[in-house]
Amino acid sequence: MINTFDVLKKIRPLSTDRLEDVGDILQYLLPWSALLAVALMGDKQAAWNWFYSGSVTVIITFTGKFIFNFTSWGVRPNGEPYSFPSGHTSSAFMGAAFIHFQIGWMWAIVPYLLAVLTGYSRIRTRKHWLRDVITGAVLGVMVTYIFIVDLAFPPLSL
């Protein structure tokens, strides 16, 4: 006899273990999908913008993690170190924001929803506090905005 409860438990997409895996995958999938989109369009300037905004997002995120690790904000809900800000969330929102600012907001609706799911996964699995996720999201969006809309650096000539 099939136990319906056990079947539903196994296929439930937002169980804690699977949700953590979803967040782990989306932190890479969103930014790299954004790069793939502009690569398929043949836009070299956009690819350099992706490189600049991604690099600065990572540098700021890990600098923040190092600095805040020596404060109470550096402790995760599960007791582990390096909580603030959320690197998964900053990376996911960088990818979504890149699509938004480089390609268009209509194309960014699903990536933004997936980035929110990434942030939710970090809170639900007790890897981050809400403040970590919000800061990571703002960081990813703001850095990408600055590099695409405000600065728009020219590509390096190699």
Residue range 30-66, pLDDT digits in tens: 999 999 999 999 999 899 999 999 999 999 999 999 9
Alpha-carbon distance 124 to 13, whole Å? Answer: 13
Residue range 1-39, pLDDT digits in tens: 456 555 555 555 555 567 888 889 999 999 999 999 999
For residue 15, what are the CA distances in angstroms to 11, 88, 115?
9, 18, 18
Listed by start position, the domains of the chain span 14-151
Alpha-carbon distance 127 to 86, whole Å? Answer: 9
